[in-house]
Each structure stands twice: as structure tokens, then as C-alpha cells.
Structure 1
Amino acid sequence: MRLTEKGQVTIPKDIRDRLNIGPGSEVDFVADEKGARLIVVAGGKAAEPDDFAAWLKSRTGTFDTGGMTADEYMDWLRGSRDDLGSD
């Protein structure tokens, strides 16, 4: 991809389709330790009920847990479960 003199880039069609974005969609670029990520802010087209599996697949890998496993993340999210105790 090449940046134009106006600082613009064209988002490839396969990525636009995967993110469900089109004219009028609002996106942002977020810098992190890996580089930059394109984030859909608003304006994505709503998924049709028949297309839920495709929508779900398009979201795969878009959530950053900061290197935690799913179990570690759920423990962090739920907080301490000391109240459960052991019988």
C-alpha cells in the first residue's frame, strides 16, 4: 500500500468486506506495539441474520487480551472467586 501526498490509503476490498465497511463508515487508526490497527468506529453495515456466521468469522482475532489465555482473561474479568471456597 502506498500513502498518497494527501496522506490517504485505499483499504483493500477484501478487508473492507471482512470489516463490513463502506462509504460513510467511520474508521480510526490506533497505534500499538505491533504498528497500527484499523478500527471500525461507526457506520458498518448491519449483519443479516443469514450472514451471522460470516459476521462472527470477520470478528475472529480482533480482540486483544494482552497475551493472556482465555482462562486467564476470564479470571481477570470476573475477579477473585474466593467467595466460592472449597467444601
Structure 2
Amino acid sequence: MRVTEKGQVTIPKPIRDKLGIVPGSEVEFVAEGAEVHLRKRADPPCLTEEEIAAHFEAMRGTIDTQGMDGKEFIDWLRGPRDDLDAG
């Protein structure tokens, strides 16, 4: 297998199939002594609804909206829009 000028190599289809590597997959090269191994990166674990709810609950009350309601705060964050606020 030859390395291109850009440092790229093509992973043979049987290897891609065996490892489940598809376009967009994350892989990593791991140096072990004089050898380099290709590994498919593990997908990050998905959070459960309960874990997500716990994260949001932990953040509750941590943002100072300076008395603005939700819409006012979002508008303030976004700032003026040239297409709506011309004048």
C-alpha cells in the first residue's frame, strides 16, 4: 500500500467491511513499538433521557437573564438583525 503526497492511504474494502468503517467513521492509528495499528474509534456513549434531564437540572438557575423573559433573552443574545432592524 502506498502513501500519497498528502499522507493518505486507502483502507482496503475487506478491512473496512470487517471493522464496519463507513464514510464518516472515526478511526485512529495506534503506534505499538515498530508497528502501527488502525482501529475504528468507539462511538461515544449516548446519554439516557434521565442523564440529560439531570444535566439540565444541574444547570437550572445558573444563567442571569437580567429579568428578561426567554424571548427577550434570546433576542438579546442574537443581537440586532440588519434585515429586520434597519432604520
Q: Shorter-chain-normalised TM-score: which range?
A: 0.3 to 0.5
Q: Which has more radius of gyration?
A: 2
Per chain length, whose mean CA-contact separation is higher, i.e. which structure has more relative contact order (CA < 8 Å, sep 6+)? 1
TM-score (norm 2): 0.46
TM-score (norm 1): 0.46
